[in-house]
Amino acid sequence: MSQETNSPLSQDNPQKQPANNTPPPKRSTAIYWVVIVALLGVCIWQFVNNSNLKQTQDMTQAQLDSTSTDRERIQQEYDEAAKRLDDLLTQNMQKDSSLKDRIAEVEALKTRIKKILDNEKATASDLSKARDLIANLNSKTREYEERIAMLETENTDLSNKNEVLAQERDSTVAQNIAIKKVGSVLHASNIRMVPVDLRKGGKKETETTKAKRTDLLRITFDIDENRIADDGNKDLFLRITGPDGTVLSNAAYGSGVTTLVDGSSLNYTLAKQVALKQGQPVNGVNVDWHQGNTYQKGTYKIEIYNEGYRIGNGTVALK
């Protein structure tokens, strides 16, 4: 009976049973895992993104460093090429006038290169173009060097030819001078040496053949016309040799020494200067030799010299 009574009450009053408000534990755990996975994904994405950004920055910096290094290297190449070419043109401008016409072309090429190198934003492609232009500049430098080397060879050959021509000219001039000098040597003719006997205190002169009566020897001769010798006074040297072969000389009377064409020395007895006009003879030249002591018997010889050459001779005998 008691069981039947309690059963209806339980069914008719369910609110009177105890309530249970705790959420299912499996649902909360799933949410936590979703949040954790999302945060982890965000972290991974950010890590990967930062890593890629760092790698990109490193690559960019490496490219900038490489570009800067290339710029410095290309700048150095340009400076060396420009200096080499400038020195070449400066030193050899006078050797080849055609180099002047090429300066504008070279300057235009240098301007293009410098414009690229001065541009701080120049790309690797721009620097590569600058390098090609520098190669062109060096190519022109080699062309100029070859041209200048050829000119130097030609100049050397020309100098050698000129030297040969100069030697031939000098030789010809020397020969002409020698020929003219020989041709201008005077020639004496009609040479006579006359013994003179002075009487009445020298007022009367008489030719003699006797040695004891001879007071002086008078040399008479003519100078033939000469069409080569220049006008002017010409020096003549007379050499009188006695019977014993001794040269008659006395410094007080004008004796001295002259030089022959072969360089040897010649003692002369008297010197005489004659006025010459080109192409005209000089006739009747007289020279007297006074001797303080007595003349010896025998043959006396007279020789006349001009410009180191003997131009005539004669003899006279005294008894």
| Burial 130-146, CB ≥16 within 10 A → b, else e | bbebbeebeebbeebee
Q: What is the pLDDT of residue 248?
A: 93
What is Dmax (Cα atoms) for the chain? 229
The per-residue pLDDT for range 61-87, each reduced to its tens digit, is 555 555 667 667 777 777 887 777 777
Q: What is the pLDDT of residue 98?
A: 59
Last residue of a domain, one of 183, 212, 228: 183
Q: What is the pLDDT of residue 63?
A: 56
Last residue of a domain, one of 127, 149, 183: 183
Q: What is the pLDDT of residue 46?
A: 73
- Find tokens 């000089």 and name the residue: 282
Number of C-beta neighbours around residue 176 at 10 A: 11
Residues 121 and 261 in one domain: no
Residues 208 and 110 in one domain: no
Backbone angles phi, psi at 242, to 5 degrees: -75, 175
Residue 6 belongs to some domain of the structure: no
Evaluate whether 67 touches 128 at the Cβ level (below 8 Å): no
Q: Please state, in angstroms and rounded to a whole number, the distance separating the CA atoms of residues 129 and 281.
A: 90
Last residue of a domain, one of 183, 211, 240: 183
Q: Please state, in angstroms and rounded to a whole number, the distance separating the CA atoms of residues 106 and 101.
A: 10
Residues 118 and 53 in one domain: yes
Q: What is the pLDDT of residue 2?
A: 44
Residue 85 belongs to some domain of the structure: yes
Which range of residues forms the domain containing residue 82? 29-183
Residue 81 belongs to some domain of the structure: yes
Q: Please state, in angstroms and rounded to a whole number, the distance separating the CA atoms of residues 283 and 296.
A: 30
Q: What is the pLDDT of residue 1?
A: 41
| CATH label of the domain that carries residue 197 | 2.60.40.10
Residue 313 belongs to some domain of the structure: yes
Residues 171 and 37 in one domain: yes
pLDDT along the chain (319 residues), means of 10: 45 50 61 74 71 62 59 77 72 58 74 83 82 82 76 79 80 76 87 90 84 92 90 94 93 92 94 93 93 89 94 93
Q: What is the number of domains present in the chain?
A: 2
Residue 8 belongs to some domain of the structure: no
Q: Please state, in angstroms and rounded to a whole number, the distance separating the CA atoms of residues 102 and 140.
A: 10
Residues 158 and 92 in one domain: yes
Residues 47 and 176 in one domain: yes
The per-residue pLDDT for range 212-233, each reduced to its tens digit, is 999 999 999 999 998 888 899 9
Q: How many CA atoms lie within 13 A of 10 on its CB side?
A: 7
pTM above the 0.85 mark?
no
Residues 148 and 194 in one domain: no
Residues 208 and 170 in one domain: no
Residues 226 and 118 in one domain: no
Residues 109 and 130 in one domain: yes
Q: What is the pLDDT of residue 219?
A: 94
Backbone angles phi, psi at 106, to 5 degrees: -65, -45
Q: What is the pLDDT of residue 269?
A: 94
- The helix/strand/coil state of 264 is coil
